[in-house]
Amino acid sequence: MKRLIALTVAGCLGAVALAGPAFAELKAGAKAPDFTAPAYLAGQPFTYKLADALKKGPVVVYFFPAAHTAGCNLEAHLFSEAIDQFKAANATVIGVTAGNVDQLADFSKETEHCGGKFPVAADDGAKIAKQYDAILAQKPDWSSRTSYVIAQNGDIVHVYSNLNPNDHVIETLNAVNSHITFGRMFHQGEAVLASTELVAATNGLGYVIVQFQRGFQIAEMWSGVIVLGIIGVLLALLLRLVERRVLVWYHGVRAAERSER
């Protein structure tokens, strides 16, 4: 705890010492320049390729002025402590610097700095930093303290530039989680939309079928009514005929009775 407090104080003092305007960083929505650079992870050298890292998920590229300087020591320590949270979001972290690149092997493995948790890349001549507009104005051969969150499609989704190292981790972690959440919502929304369209289409077909069924039911109902109407008319005619026959018979009987009298 005392070490972390000391690192924090030293980092703030380092930020004040380096205070000055940095060049304008790239903005969210821009395409992140691809790069390949020599790097170190836990002291072991390898070649880092941004394109390969993006195939696995979002990437946090954080530029820092120089290894083994107060603010950069603290920033590396904070990233190493939070690395499991980035992994949980399927994101990877890469530190990039043009300062003290000959010390990066040790810097990458020292427990109080990177602790072997994530790689750091050497940017000789600050060439990568220039592509990302992350140059320290008062020391152009060093990068500024600027962090980028890059989506898998290569788009920059978040930028944070501040010589104070304290908030770079929380800024980038929140951006990664927000990006992941939005992505899930977007894909869920697409799925819901597709499902809704399918249901609508199915319901539309069902509606047509139901209407046909209702039409047949109505036709059957009316045909039954017509048949009953015809039967009713025939019965009425039959009754009228019977009535006439009865009347004829009755009048015949009465006439016969009168003639007998």
- In which band, very low, low, confident or very high, does the pLDDT at 260 lie, cut at 50, 70 and 90? low
pLDDT for 234 equals: 75
Q: Is the whole-model pTM more than 0.85?
A: no
Q: Which residue has the higher pLDDT, 187 or 256?
A: 256
Of the listed ranges 78-82, 202-206, 217-221, the least confidently predicted one is 202-206
- In which band, very low, low, confident or very high, does the pLDDT at 216 lie, cut at 50, 70 and 90? low
pLDDT for 25 equals: 78
Structure tokens at 50: 């941004």
d(CA 109, CA 36): 21
Confidence check: pLDDT of 21 > 60:
no
- In which band, very low, low, confident or very high, does the pLDDT at 20 lie, cut at 50, 70 and 90? very low
Mean pLDDT of 191-210: 47
Q: Which residue has the higher pLDDT, 131 or 249?
A: 131
3-state secondary structure at position 54: helix
Of the listed ranges 110-114, 194-198, 232-236, the least confidently predicted one is 194-198
Give the contacts of 35 (CB within 8 A, at least 6 positions apart). Answer: 50, 128, 131
pLDDT for 66 equals: 97
What DSSP letter does each residue of 183-217 carry, written as one string? Answer: HHHHHHHHHHHHHHHHHHHHHHHHHHHHHHHHHHH
pLDDT for 237 equals: 74
Confidence check: pLDDT of 41 > 90:
yes
- In which band, very low, low, confident or very high, does the pLDDT at 19 lie, cut at 50, 70 and 90? very low
pLDDT for 163 equals: 95
pLDDT for 258 equals: 65
Confidence check: pLDDT of 9 > 60:
no
pLDDT for 213 equals: 57
Are 118 and 93 in contact by the 8 Å Cβ rule? The answer is yes
Provide the residue ranges of all domains of the chain, joining segments of one domain with +: 2-191
| Percent of residues, the chain, with pLDDT higher than 70 | 66
Confidence check: pLDDT of 211 > 90:
no
Confidence check: pLDDT of 115 > 50:
yes
Q: The sheet that has 120-122: what strands, in order across it?
A: 44-49, 36-41, 120-122, 92-97, 59-63, 146-150, 156-161
pLDDT in tens, 130-189: 999 999 988 999 999 999 999 999 999 999 999 999 999 999 999 999 987 655 554 454
3-state secondary structure at position 106: helix
Of the listed ranges 14-18, 42-46, 219-223, 235-239, the least confidently predicted one is 14-18
Are 169 and 78 in contact by the 8 Å Cβ rule? The answer is yes
Confidence check: pLDDT of 23 > 70:
no
Overall CATH class of domain 2-191: alpha beta
Confidence check: pLDDT of 10 > 50:
no
